[in-house]
Structures are given as structure tokens and as C-alpha cells.
Amino acid sequence: MIHYLCFVSAVSICLCLMLILAFLVKGKEEEGEPCGVHYFVKLFVGENETDRTHKRGMVSMGIRKVQYAPSKQGRQPCTVVRKDFMLSPGELELEVTLDKQLYHHGEKIAVNICVRNNSNKVVKKIKAMVQQGVDVVLFQNGQYRTSVASMETQEGCPINPGQSLQKVVYLLPLLSSNKDRRGIALDGQLKKQETNLASTTLLASSDQREAFGIIVSYAIKVKLYLGALGGELAAELPFVLMHPKPNSKSKVIHADSQADVEDFRQDTVDNMDHDGDAEAEEIE
């Protein structure tokens, strides 16, 4: 007969976690773990603090730090850019406006585009895109800028001299449209749970950049194509993409908070590798 003894004790651990969990998608031909930030806590049972850890007496828990979206919207984003041409009168004006500054993951982004052509050039095509900017401050020259949603249209074109055009286009940045794309940043992934594009990193001050490891930002970019001789006119407008803050009144236990339990036979315990880990699911 085998008797099991269970001792329950509460342990309080204070963690100062500055870095947000995020990692970069690596290329298909690249080996090793993706660049990113991960946290985990290991607890083991031993005779003293210098005792070697055994898999049968240790549990490992991953921890994810999350920034949630602010409760209030900021100013409505709007920008106006103009371009003049040598030896040509008038200007080409592009105005881009978003309906709000803060968007949640899975929400469509409405981009209001207004073109006023007071030049003698012709606008032949319009392209709008969502660009993800990633600044990896863990090492030098770690900057990426990737389009995660885009659309091109010739509807309303050509815009001839003296004409104007106003239209709204919708963009939806999703991970499902960007799988296996090298260099994009994703939120820290939990076991048995789908992840998504990394959320915007909010900094209280620029001095915190080094502490966050990976800085993620998003911007809408709109381009007007004028042909080979006319060139392009582009406008950029930053916005915030984050998860909404969950309702603190309703306490929800996620499936990823359930532990994986591994049983050991007596004949395998004595011959076990001391460096193994018994893992529990990640918790938020």
C-alpha cells in the first residue's frame, strides 16, 4: 500500500516585471528559439537551498505580463501632407483621418482618405496599409517595419488636375493573414492558446525603452501613386492596438491555468535526469 502525504503552504513572491512578453517570428530556414522575452517561476523541494533540483520535486510555471488598453480614447488622429512639383503650379494634398486612436485586436480600422489635386499631375492609384514597427532594444540594429494589412484601389482614379476624392477604406490586421512572415512581433504565447499580433507598447517616458526589451508600435500609411514621372505622396498616422481590460468584477479561470500533472513510476524515479522540468500551464 502506498501512502501519499500532502503539505500545503502559501508562498508570497514579489516580482518586478518590466518587460512585456513578445517574440519575433523567425524565418523558415532559421534555427533556434525566436527572439523574445519570457518569464517563468520554478519551485522545488529539497533539503536546503543549494540542493540539486529533481524533476519529481519541482514545478515550473510560465508568467505573462500584459498591458491592457487605456479606458479613455485619445485625440482623433489626423494628418495632412502636401507636395509641390518643380516647374508646376499648385500642390497635391492628402488628408488622412482615423475615427479613433485606440483599437482592439480583431477590430476593423476605418481610414478616411481625402485627396485634393490642385496640381497638374494625375493620381493613378491609392494604397493603404497597417504597418507594425518593432524596435528590439535588446541588441543594436534590431528594427523591423512590416505591413500586416494592406489594400490597393483604383476606384475613383484617375484623379485629374482640379479634382478631389474622399473615401473610406477598412483594414483588419490579423495574425491569420501574416503567419510565417519573418520579423513580425507576436504576443507571448501560452500553451494550448492561440496568440495574436503583439500589442502596442505604452511607455510612460522615453527612459523606459531599455527596460521593455521589445517596443511595438502601429501606424496607418497611405500612398498616392502618380506614375513614373510624378513619384509618390505618402502620409503616416500612428494608432494604438491593444487588448481591452477585462472586467475585474467577474473572476474567470482560464483553461490555461490548469496544471499538467505527470506521474512517475518508482523504477523511473531513481534513474531520472536531474535537469528535467515538470511544467505547469502558463498563468496570466
Secondary element (H or E) of residue 268:
helix 266-269
Task: Identify the weakest region by mean pLDDT among 57-66, 207-216, 272-281.
Answer: 272-281
Nearest to 222 by CA among 153, 145, 122, 121: 153
User: Residue 2 falls within a domain, yes or no?
Assistant: no
User: Residue 109 falls within a domain, yes or no?
Assistant: yes
Looking at per-residue confidence, does 9 or 231 come out higher?
Answer: 231
Q: What is the pLDDT of residue 279?
A: 36
User: Residue 16 falls within a domain, yes or no?
Assistant: no
User: Residue 230 falls within a domain, yes or no?
Assistant: yes
β-strands 58-63, 279-283: how paired? parallel
Task: Identify the weakest region by mean pLDDT among 104-108, 199-203, 208-212, 276-280.
Answer: 276-280
Q: What is the DSSP string of 148-191?
A: EEEEEE-TT--B-TT-EEEEEEEE---GGGSTT-TT-EEEPPPT
Taking only the tens place, the pLDDT of each residue in 37-47 is 666 777 777 77
CATH no. for residue 214? 2.60.40.640
User: Residue 219 falls within a domain, yes or no?
Assistant: yes
- Tell me, what amino acid is at 24? L
Work out the pLDDT band at 271, boundaries 50, 70, 90. Answer: very low
Q: What is the pLDDT of residue 82?
A: 95
Number of structural domains in the chain: 1
Using CA atoms, how far apart are residues 203 and 269, in angstroms rounded to an integer?
A: 48
Query: What is the mean predicted confidence (pLDDT) over 224-247?
Result: 90
Q: What is the pLDDT of residue 191?
A: 58
User: Residue 211 falls within a domain, yes or no?
Assistant: yes
Q: Are 221 and 238 in contact (CB under 8 A)?
A: no
Work out the pLDDT band at 257, boundaries 50, 70, 90. Answer: very low
Give the structural domain span for 199.
78-242
Task: Identify the weakest region by mean pLDDT among 67-71, 141-145, 191-195.
Answer: 191-195
CA dihedral 116, 117, 122, 125 (to 10 degrees): -10
Taking only the tens place, the pLDDT of each residue in 116-170 is 999 999 999 999 999 999 888 766 667 889 999 999 999 999 999 999 999 999 9
Q: What is the DSSP string of 62-112?
A: EE---PBPPSS--PPPEEEEEEEETTEEEEEEEEEEES-SEEETT--EEEE
Contacts of 208 (CB under 8 A, 6+ apart): 18
Q: What is the pLDDT of residue 10?
A: 57
User: Residue 57 falls within a domain, yes or no?
Assistant: no
Q: How far is CA 185 from the centre of its chain?
A: 5
Does the pLDDT at position 204 exceed 60? yes
Nearest to 127 by CA among 155, 99, 160, 162: 155
